Each structure stands twice: as structure tokens, then as C-alpha cells.
Amino acid sequence: MAMGNLSTDYQEQNQQTDIGASIRNGREIFLQAFNWESHKHDWWKNLESKVPDIAKSGFTSAWLPPSTHSFAPEGYLPQNIYSLNSKYGSEHQLKGLLQKMKQCKVRPMADIVINHRVGTTQGNGGMYNRYDGIPLSWDEHAVTSCTGGLGNRSTGDNFNGVPNIDHSQPFVRKDITTWLQWLRNTVGFQDFRFDFARGYAAKYVKEYIEGAKPIFSVGEYWDSCNYNDHGLDYNQDSHRQQIISWIDGTGQLSTAFDFTTKGILQEAVKGQLWRLRDPQGKPPGVMGWWPSRSVTFLDNHDTGSTQAHWPFPSNHIMEGYAYILTHPGIPSVFYDHFYDSGDSIHDQIVKLIHIRRQKEIHSRSSVRILEAQPNLYSAIIGEKVCMKIGDGSWCPDVREWKLATSGHRYAVWHK
């Protein structure tokens, strides 16, 4: 055992200094530890009580909501980004939570909202585009010209109704990098999730990752999938290519949420499982092309929760998790599914995570798709795990495979 401990310590030391270590390792499984209503529920205290369960369930990292002062209670309209008092709780409660996560070896992931920032005072043109009276007291030159500032045009899409930050300004990038280093080294966040990554060039994300050295990073590059009159297009290559180009732009240092897989999977489980094999015989999302950079998920605080912009069908959740938790990519689980959908779902998800870890399925594991019919999908992953989802009955050679777990419309076997 001593040898095992030694290598874990060595790995941890290594991960602290080597930005690419966790991506190469490919063993991450994370929990999105909040939803759109969490700010109403004394959140840091609530989460602190759940940390032991999060650790025991096998999650390596938990994504926390934006922890700094915000104009809106959910945290996505930041203003004084050096204040750690938010609607989720006080700085003291946050520190308690982070301490507990450190003890239990679950890495805290910070939600990095740096596309836009709410001003404190009116400047050029009578807009609230200055930041007087708070740390990082920028003037109008920090705001893009397209959103009422005196900076350059945006390097991405606009987030409307609020000043967008001009990342092309060296003083802005220097200040943001220093702030990210503070979150990483002083506050104690270890991983980063970049909000609204469409809003500014990926090369800046690369610079921020190099500057602050998070252990793991993921970007939210969310654009609509391709639809036609009859519903979702079978071919989503242009959609996944956009996400892949963004990852490339970060110098491959960041992963990205696999919105392509989400969009396809939530249609596939409704009796269209043929969608889960692309024309090349591979998985059809980012996972099929660049699995080590694909973070798979079923829902988040925007697509699901009370906003429900693009929800995964709730009666098919376990089929969804049976797919992403057995497949390559980096799977993540949504709080509402894990903690608010009943003990049975919680325990079934834990079982799938344990099989993934026990059989050493990782982000780059191979996939052999055996069946992709309307009501049946089956595949062998890493030559160690075999699974099926859908109503269709199917089972592998019983001399070779042993049932590991099963539930409504899904089953998993191992060797």
C-alpha cells in the first residue's frame, strides 16, 4: 500500500505544477454542485454537509456557482470580483466549504465570469461603464465599443444588456490574470469553468490558464445545434467542429462542454438511438472526435433546473448517465439529478461511477459500437465494459461478460 500512497502524493504534486496533467490522466468525473435556485438555500453550508458523500461517490471535482459579489443573485452579473460575499453565503462559509473539500480530496471548480461586468458609475455616453469605488476600478477603456465603452470591438459574441469586457487591453488581461491567481492560490479554487466562452477569443483563455495554472479547465461554448423542419439534423459535424476550434484556440489547455453530445443524446433516447453512431461508426459528439477534451453532461443550470431552456427528458435520465458514465470523454453529473431525483437515482449513478473507476474507463478509452437502432444502442468500451440502452432486448456473450448493474432501459456488463 505504501507504494500506492507514494504515487498518489507524487501525482498530486505533479498536478499542482503541470497544467496538462489532469487532461493526460483522463480520470476526471465531476459534479455540477448547484442549480439556478441554489442562492436561496444557504448554499455553502448545504454543500459542506454533502462533501463526504460527493467524495465517497467518486467525484474528483465539484463545480461551484460564482462565488464573488454579483448584481444578480445567481452570480452571473459580477461587479466587485474581489468580494467573496455572495447570495450563496459569506466568505467565512465559503472558506469552510473549501477546507472541507480539501480534507475530502474533492477539487473545487470556480465559475469564471469574465465576459462582462456591471459598472458602478456612469461614464462615456451616460452608460454605467466605469468601475469607480471598487477593486479593479477600470474606466470605459475596459469595455468593448459594441457595448458602450471606449475599448476595441469585441473578439467574440456580445452578452447583451451589460458592459462586455475588452480582453484585447493589456491592462485588463493583467488584472484578470492577477485575480485568477488570487482565486487559485489564496482562495483555494483548483479548477476553472469559463462562462460564456463565445464572448471573447479563445487565445485569452489560453493566456489566463497559463497565468493562473488551474489543474483542470472547461469552457462553456454553447451554440444551437443544427435543426431542420423535422427536428434535429443527423449530422452535427459543423456544430462539434465549432467547439473543437475553440479548444484548439486555447492551445488545447482547456476542455469544453460537449453540447453536441447533449443535443443528440436527448433526442436519441426518445426512440432514435440510431443517432448515436455517426457515418464513420463513431460517437456523434465532440466525444467522437476529441474525447480527452470533451466534458459530457445531460443538463446544467441553464438547460435544466427552473430555467429549462433545453432540458434532457426527465424519464430518460438513467439511460443518459448509462451512456456518458461508461463512455470516453470526461463525464459530469448535474446536482438536480444526483440529489433531487430520489435515492434510487443517486445510488444508480454512484454504481455507474464505481464501475467506471473500477474498470479504469478514462477519457480516451476505445468504443466499439455494436448496435445503433431506433430502440437499441450497445457498445463495448475499453474492451472492459459493455453496455446497452433502450427498450430493445440485447445481451453480450454470457461466457465472456458478467452483469455489473442494470435499471430501467439500461444494463452494463464487465469482464
Report DSSP letters for 48-107, one per residue. HHHHHHHHHHT-SEEEPPP-S-BSSTTS-SBS-TT---BTTB-HHHHHHHHHHHHHTT-E
The string of pLDDT tens digits covering residues 37-61 is 999 999 999 999 999 999 999 999 9
CA distances from 107 to 26, 32, 50, 101 (A): 15, 12, 14, 7
Site of grid cell 466549504: 97
Would you state the cell numbers that stand for residue 281, as one nine-digit string?
461508426
The string of pLDDT tens digits covering residues 224-272 is 999 999 899 999 999 999 999 999 999 999 999 999 999 999 999 999 9
Q: What is the mean pLDDT of residues 192-200?
A: 98
Question: What is the percentage of the chain residues whose pLDDT exceeds 70?
Answer: 96
Reported as type and span, the H/E element at residue 140 is none
Return the higher-pLDDT residue of 32 and 20: 32
Evaluate the CA torsion angle 206, 211, 217, 219 in order and state its sign: negative
Which residue is catalytic, options 28, 48, 139, 195? 195
Report residue 213's pLDDT band, with 50, 70 and 90 as the boundaries: very high
The string of pLDDT tens digits covering residues 308-350 is 899 999 999 999 999 999 999 999 999 999 999 999 999 999 9
Which residue is catalytic, options 74, 139, 140, 220? 220
| In contact, 294 and 330? CB cutoff 8 Å | yes
Would you state the cell numbers that stand for residue 155, as one nine-digit string?
473578439
Please state, rounded to an integer, the average pLDDT across all residues of the chain.
95
Q: What is the rounded CA–CA span in Å between residue 312 and residue 264? A: 10
For residue 135, how many other CB atoms are within 10 A of its CB?
11
Residue 2 has pLDDT above 60, yes or no: no
Q: What is the rounded CA–CA span in Å between residue 380 and residue 357? A: 16
Site of grid cell 479548477: 191
Q: What is the DSSP letter of 307?
A: T
| In contact, 180 and 25? CB cutoff 8 Å | no
String of b and e for 80-101 (b: at least 16 CB within 10 Å)? Answer: bbeebebbbbeeebbebbbebb
Report residue 3's pLDDT band, with 50, 70 and 90 as the boundaries: very low
User: Which residues have a Cβ under 8 Å from the Cβ of 330 and sit 6 or more positions away?
Assistant: 26, 28, 29, 30, 218, 255, 292, 294, 295, 296, 363
User: Which residues have a Cβ under 8 Å from the Cβ of 122 and sit 6 or more positions away?
Assistant: 128, 129, 130
Residue 17 has pLDDT above 90, yes or no: no
Residue 128 has pLDDT above 90, yes or no: yes
Q: What is the DSSP letter of 304?
A: S
195 is catalytic: yes
Q: What is the mean pLDDT of residues 366-393?
A: 98
